[in-house]
A and B are shown apart, each in its own frame.
Chain A
Amino acid sequence: MAIDPKLAEDLKSQGVHVTSFEGLINWGRSSSLWPLQFGLACCAIEMIAATMAKYDMARFGAEVFRPSPRQADLMIVAGTVTKKMAPQVVRLYNQMAEPKYVIAMGACAISGGPFKDGYNVLKGIDRFIPVDVSIPGCPPRPEALLHGLITLREKIAKEKLIGTTRARHADPNGPGDLPVPEFGPHDLEPTFNPDVWNPPSIAREASES
């Protein structure tokens, strides 16, 4: 099943590239990630900078920011997700075609960041959509976004398309559209999606009490 690396190297020197279909498909997917063009706060400015000439995200095949979720396969949640915006983000995620990936960029998208204790900010977009790569920072530098993108590429390159450990999008019984939270009288309803977000129960250290 697996290709002998030495044999593959020998063939490569002769101009023959040996790979698996899985490797070929993953190589194609990871090399042309098209991000969805939207930004929510100041992280979006760094995301824009990452696409410009100095940092040049095009080197990694991810420069084509698509204005439509139907054409995008990477959602970069760049910025503070307010509770008012969260249903729209989930809806955009649902509208993207599989395979799709999510990068949570910055402290706000990961956890709510400095606005965590506020009444109007979602405490992390991972409560509603599955996040593949989280990039800490406030905001992260463009290099950090590129590092996150490369991390995602490595993750895609290792994806299995068949078998029990196959990727979510290759599983016909995988989840479909995620439920979009409703606006409730005091908070979003529900406040998180238990299929996506399962925080471990943490015991508090008794010495701090």
Chain B
Amino acid sequence: MTPDLPAILARVQAALPAATLAHLRNPGPAAQDSLLVATDSLVAVCQFLRDTPELAFDFLSNVTGVDWPQPAKADTVAMPAEGTPPAACGFLEVVYHLYSTSRRAGPLVLRARTLDREAQVFIPSVVSVYRSAEFQEREIFDLFGVIFTGHPDLRRILMWEEFMDHPMRKDYVAPDDYEYEPTPHDAVLEKAKQHYPATSEI
């Protein structure tokens, strides 16, 4: 059962006047709308969603990240509501899927966006509200480079600690360790051209 987003939005706004939220519509066939939450009110909103008996979103099922090098693209996927101008530079987005096990409702999709992709990559950790976020936030830190402020143990979880890159970012360049491919084509053919000279006899 998909939650009634406008009602939840109104309830959160009434209880937390300082919180900044926006209703993002999804024009795709999935039509799964989401709530864009300002980073400074994220923890308070999560706390409210969990502890309000009528909402009781007690289960954080999934946390994932999205890299938006071009912010305009993010707005074609999820149209921003009025009053939320698209960011000038790219940003990293963290997506939370909340469920209510007691009301059998969900998923409620929350999004939070960093200010940019380089220096201001901070998002408050929701581990204090949902313990299940701990490893998933570590994974997003590892693969996207989002720094979760207040996380109890923010270390890389999949890659080794000496690793410097964030592989799931769109501009990640994998190590150039191409080797023989019997039938190269497209991007692999371009790599093959760089790595192996063509024979002249054929």
Contact = CB atoms under 8 A, between A and B. Distances in A.
Interface residues of A, number: 23
Contact of A186 (B175, B189, B200): B175
B196 A123 contact: no
Nearest to B177: A191
Contacts of A117: 174
Interface in B131-184: 158-165, 167, 172, 174-175, 177, 179-180, 184
Nearest to B164: A185
B177 A202 contact: no
Interface in A173-209: 183-187, 191, 199, 201-209
B17 interface: no
B187 to A, nearest CB: 9
A206 B167 CA distance: 34
Contacts of B167: 119-120
A84 interface: yes
A118 B158 CA distance: 14
B202 A206 contact: yes
B152 to A, nearest CB: 23
B192 A186 contact: no
B196 A120 contact: no
Contacts of A185: 162-165
A183 B202 contact: no
Interface of B: 158-165, 167, 172, 174-175, 177, 179-180, 184, 189, 192-193, 196-202
Interface of A: 83-84, 117-120, 123, 183-187, 191, 199, 201-209
5 contacts: A84-B158, A117-B174, A120-B159, A185-B163, A205-B198
